[in-house]
């Protein structure tokens, strides 16, 4: 049995497999089918200060080996989350990572403050990369100064591990990893979805009401692996890698490229009970290769 | 509690070049399924199609002792996934997650149950009819199709004691026209002190028309909606339907708050029907 634990700042994950934000509700939706406390962590759906309605459906469309989504961050807001969801997540022993959204730097800070005062939050994942909302989000994530400013502002209001979630919709993600590191982040996570669209040629209408959406799923995996590898060369921070991971082999590919932990999103829609097998298979791989700790595999690509 | 089963295909009855009934060995799903619930089906292994498709549970299959051993799906080929299910062969393994969603609540006597089905929308009514028959509730199935060859399993429903009212768009069976025409006459003819609960599943315009009739005639009406769905578990927020709730209208997830909704709460103008 290898040591699967992973350090993300002051937070220790029991294993490197995390449910990705926006793909796992608030975690509790899956408690009837999965032991959600056995996951390395659960990144809950992105939260603003207030409730949000999200976009008009259709909100998803399937594409080759992937899907587009434009949900629009429908959510219950941070106060209802703390009141209605967090106590149950705590009771179940879930390592809860809260994805924090904002239209302004002040909103990011205020949401983070509320979560820092609550009991049971393991880490803050700063969503500066959602491609589907008009204000905030990606507008911070696509500018180096915007990234630096929002991360350093939130850094001042919390001692929780702070993990900016980076967008792939930039030429050089590694420079955003460096900006995050300079601003005091404890780790980074990447990639969020790729801005994309699909058109019904018969009706000539976009397949999503929002026209554009974010592409996820196995289709994006090789690009995500490349971006994680580039970031690994650029920063010392722990990296949480994601993008089309569907099984242990995919997860190990990200770890070898330089990810300390991984998130699984779209694959959970298809196989919501995949977690145990993925974690066990990572362990078996480490045993088979005589690697004592998963941390020893991070970034160990042979050339 | 939903389970994910690599269900073996144990039968595939092709009813027409469009419709088939696919039987799956899935005792864990069958044992806990309630009328109107659904399963998420992986129509093929691998990455294309990637996502599962939602299907109403059509029949609960039982062995000689009556123990539940599987489920069947009423499938209409309209896209890639449904074509794969049409072509499925005995022994194929099809991942099947369920049962999912809020079921129909079968009404008790003296109320009557009127089921309104359009095309493949017949699917959730086989199990509902069984539940109604078990309660001794009188029932009528208003069943509309494009033509005579689009109508199935009538004997199953009459065998449970259901009255059948058939319509076809081409007039090849029953009354020509929409299924809501005889439904409207029946509602107008029924005394206000004779309770009726309506259940509808079919194309969105049909369900909306039934909802309007339910409102006009002050009859409780429940619809089984089928928006585009990503996960079936409440994880993705793609299958939302706008419904009236205390304090206003909200997008709610049809996979966990539905697929069955009180028709009076559905904001129909916000609903874009999707089927694959």
Per-residue pLDDT tens digits for B92-102: 999 999 999 99
- Together in a domain, B182 and B250: yes
- Domain membership of residue A1 (yes or no) is no
CATH code where residue B80 lies? 2.40.30.10
Q: Which of A101, A130, A142, A231 is catalytic?
A: A130
- Together in a domain, B70 and B140: no
Which of B40, B72, B100 is the last residue before a domain boundary? B100
- pLDDT tens digits for B208-251? 999 999 999 999 999 999 899 999 999 999 999 999 998 899 99
DSSP letter (8 states) at residue A275: H
| Cβ atoms of A240 and A261 closer than 8 Å | yes
State which residue of chain A sits closest to B53, comparing Cα positions. Answer: A270
Rounded CA separation A85/A62 (Å): 30
Residue B205 has pLDDT above 50, yes or no: yes
- The backbone torsions φ and ψ at residue B223, rounded to the nearest 5 degrees and listed phi first, read -120, 150
- Domain membership of residue A243 (yes or no) is yes
DSSP letter (8 states) at residue A166: P
Active site (annotated) includes residue A130: yes
Rounded CA separation B217/B188 (Å): 8
Residue A247 has pLDDT above 50, yes or no: yes
| Cβ atoms of B46 and B74 closer than 8 Å | no
- pTM to 2 decimal places: 0.95
- pLDDT tens digits for A172-222? 999 999 999 999 999 999 999 999 999 999 999 999 999 999 999 999 999
CB spacing of B50 vs A66 below 8 angstroms: yes
Which of B49, B234, B237 lies at the smallest CB-CB distance from A54? B237
Residues of B with Cβ-Cβ distance to A71 under 8 angstroms: 236-238
CATH code where residue B117 lies? 3.40.50.80
Residue A130 has pLDDT above 90, yes or no: no
- Domain membership of residue B106 (yes or no) is no
- Together in a domain, B142 and B210: yes
DSSP H helices, B64-190, are: 80-86, 125-135, 154-159, 180-189
CA distance B200 to chain A (A): 22
* pLDDT value for B272: 67
Chain B contact present for A276, CB below 8 A: no
- Together in a domain, B74 and B118: no
Which of B75, B100, B125 is the last residue before a domain boundary? B100
- Together in a domain, B211 and B118: yes
Residue A85: burial class (beta carbons within 10 Å; 0-12, 13-18, 19+): buried
- Together in a domain, B127 and B67: no
Reported as a pLDDT band with limits 50, 70 and 90, residue A115 is very high
Which of B53, B72, B100 is the last residue before a domain boundary? B100
Residue B273 has pLDDT above 80, yes or no: no
Which of A131-135, B108-112, B193-197 is predicted least confidently?
A131-135
- Domain membership of residue A55 (yes or no) is no
* pLDDT value for A129: 87
- Domain membership of residue B87 (yes or no) is yes
- Domain membership of residue A56 (yes or no) is no
| Cβ atoms of B261 and A91 closer than 8 Å | no
Which of B1, B52, B241 lies at the smallest CB-CB distance from A32? B1
CB spacing of A74 vs B47 below 8 angstroms: no
> What is the average pLDDT across A30-58?
96
Residue A165 has pLDDT above 70, yes or no: yes
> What is the average pLDDT across A52-62?
96
- Together in a domain, B18 and B124: no
CB spacing of B52 vs A270 below 8 angstroms: yes
* pLDDT value for A137: 73
% of residues, chain A, pLDDT over 90: 96
Count structural domains, chain A.
1
- Together in a domain, B119 and B64: no
Residues of A with Cβ-Cβ distance to B50 under 8 angstroms: 62, 65-67, 217-218, 266, 270
For testing contact with chain B, the best of A26, A32, A269, A276 (most B CBs within 10 A):
A269
Rounded CA separation A290/A297 (Å): 11
> What is the average pLDDT across A249-256?
98
State which residue of chain B sits closest to A268, comparing Cα positions. Answer: B231
Mean pLDDT, chain B, rounded, equals: 96
- Domain membership of residue B275 (yes or no) is no
- Assembly ipTM: 0.94
- pLDDT tens digits for B157-193? 999 999 999 999 999 999 999 999 999 999 999 999 9
CATH code where residue A255 lies? 3.20.20.70
A260, A268, A287, A292: which is closest to A40 by C-alpha?
A260
- Domain membership of residue B276 (yes or no) is no
* pLDDT value for B271: 83
Chain B contact present for A65, CB below 8 A: yes
Mean pLDDT, chain A, rounded, equals: 96
For testing contact with chain A, the best of B37, B233, B241 (most A CBs within 10 A):
B233
* pLDDT value for B226: 86
Domain with A39 in it: 6-47+75-194+216-297
Count structural domains, chain B.
2
- Domain membership of residue A111 (yes or no) is yes
CB spacing of A272 vs B97 below 8 angstroms: yes
Rounded CA separation A192/A252 (Å): 19
For testing contact with chain B, the best of A272, A275, A277 (most B CBs within 10 A):
A272
Chain B contact present for A200, CB below 8 A: no
Which of A65, A66, A71 lies at the smallest CB-CB distance from B238? A71
Residue A19 has pLDDT above 50, yes or no: yes
Q: Name beta bridge partners: A127.
A: A165
* pLDDT value for A139: 79
- pLDDT tens digits for B117-153? 999 999 999 999 999 999 999 999 999 999 999 999 9
- Together in a domain, B84 and B161: no
- Domain membership of residue A303 (yes or no) is no
Residue B275 has pLDDT above 50, yes or no: no
- Together in a domain, B66 and B147: no
Chain B contact present for A33, CB below 8 A: yes
Domain with B72 in it: 3-100
- The backbone torsions φ and ψ at residue A198, rounded to the nearest 5 degrees and listed phi first, read -145, 145
Residues of A with Cβ-Cβ distance to B99 under 8 angstroms: none
- Domain membership of residue B105 (yes or no) is no
- Together in a domain, B119 and B218: yes
Residue B69 has pLDDT above 70, yes or no: yes
- Together in a domain, B125 and B42: no
Reported as a pLDDT band with limits 50, 70 and 90, residue B276 is very low
Reported as a pLDDT band with limits 50, 70 and 90, residue B274 is very low
A273, A221, A225, A267: which is closest to A247 by C-alpha?
A267
């Amino acid at each position: 049995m290898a040591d699967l634990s992973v350090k993300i700042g002051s937070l220790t994950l029991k294993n490197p497999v995390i449910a990705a934000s926006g793909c796992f509700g608030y975690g509790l939706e899956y408690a009837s089918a999965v032991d959600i406390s056995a996951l390395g962590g659960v990144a809950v759906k992105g939260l603003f200060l207030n409730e949000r309605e999200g976009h008009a459906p259709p909100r998803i469309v399937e594409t080759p080996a992937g899907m587009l989504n434009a949900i629009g961050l429908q959510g219950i807001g941070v106060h209802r989350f703390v009141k209605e969801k967090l106590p149950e997540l705590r009771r179940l022993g879930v390592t809860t990572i809260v994805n924090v959204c904002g239209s302004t730097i002040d909103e990011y800070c205020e949401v983070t403050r509320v979560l820092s005062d609550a009991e049971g939050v393991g880490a803050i994942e700063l969503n500066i990369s959602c491609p589907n909302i008009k204000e905030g989000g990606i507008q911070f994530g696509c500018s180096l100064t915007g990234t630096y400013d929002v991360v350093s502002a939130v850094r001042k209001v919390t001692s929780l591990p702070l993990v900016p979630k980076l967008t792939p919709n930039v030429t050089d993600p590694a420079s955003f990893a460096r900006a995050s590191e300079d601003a005091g982040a404890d780790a980074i996570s990447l990639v969020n979805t790729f801005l994309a669209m699909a058109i019904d040629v018969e009706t000539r209408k976009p397949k999503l009401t929002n026209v554009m959406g974010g592409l996820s799923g196995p289709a994006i995996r090789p690009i995500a692996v490349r971006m994680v590898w580039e970031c690994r060369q650029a920063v010392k921070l722990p990296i949480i890698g994601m993008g089309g991971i569907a099984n242990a082999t995919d997860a190990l590919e990200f770890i070898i490229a330089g990810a300390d932990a991984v998130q699984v999103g779209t694959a959970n829609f298809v196989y919501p009970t995949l977690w145990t097998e993925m974690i066990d298979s990572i362990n078996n791989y480490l045993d088979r290769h005589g690697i004592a700790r998963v941390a020893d595999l991070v970034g160990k690509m042979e050339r | 509690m939903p389970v994910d089963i690599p269900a073996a295909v144990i039968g595939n009855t092709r009813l027409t070049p469009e419709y088939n009934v696919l039987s799956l060995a899935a005792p864990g799903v069958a044992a806990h399924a309630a009328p109107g619930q659904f399963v998420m089906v992986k129509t093929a292994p691998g990455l294309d199609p990637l996502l599962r498709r939602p299907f109403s549970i059509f029949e609960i299959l039982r062995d000689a002792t009556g123990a539940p051993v599987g489920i069947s799906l009423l499938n209409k080929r309209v896209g890639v996934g449904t074509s794969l299910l049409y072509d499925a062969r005995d022994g194929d393994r099809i991942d099947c997650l369920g049962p999912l969603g809020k079921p129909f609540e079968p009404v008790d006597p003296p109320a009557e149950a009127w089921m309104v089905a359009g095309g493949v929308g017949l699917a959730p009514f086989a199990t509902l009819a069984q539940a109604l028959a078990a309660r001794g509730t009188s029932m009528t199935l208003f069943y509309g199709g494009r033509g005579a060859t689009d109508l199935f399993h009538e004997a199953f429903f009459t065998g449970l004691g259901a009255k059948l009212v058939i319509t076809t768009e081409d007039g090849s069976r029953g009354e020509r026209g929409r299924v809501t025409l005889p439904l409207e006459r029946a509602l107008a003819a029924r005394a206000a002190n004779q309770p009726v609960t309506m259940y509808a599943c079919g194309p969105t315009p049909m369900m909306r028309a039934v909802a309007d009739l339910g409102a006009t005639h002050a009859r409780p009406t429940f619809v089984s909606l089928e928006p585009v769905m990503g996960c079936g578990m409440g994880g993705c927020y793609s299958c939302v339907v706008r419904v009236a709730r205390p304090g206003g209208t909200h997008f709610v997830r049809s996979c966990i708050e539905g697929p069955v909704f009180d028709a009076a709460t559905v904001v129909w103008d916000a609903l874009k029907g999707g089927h694959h």
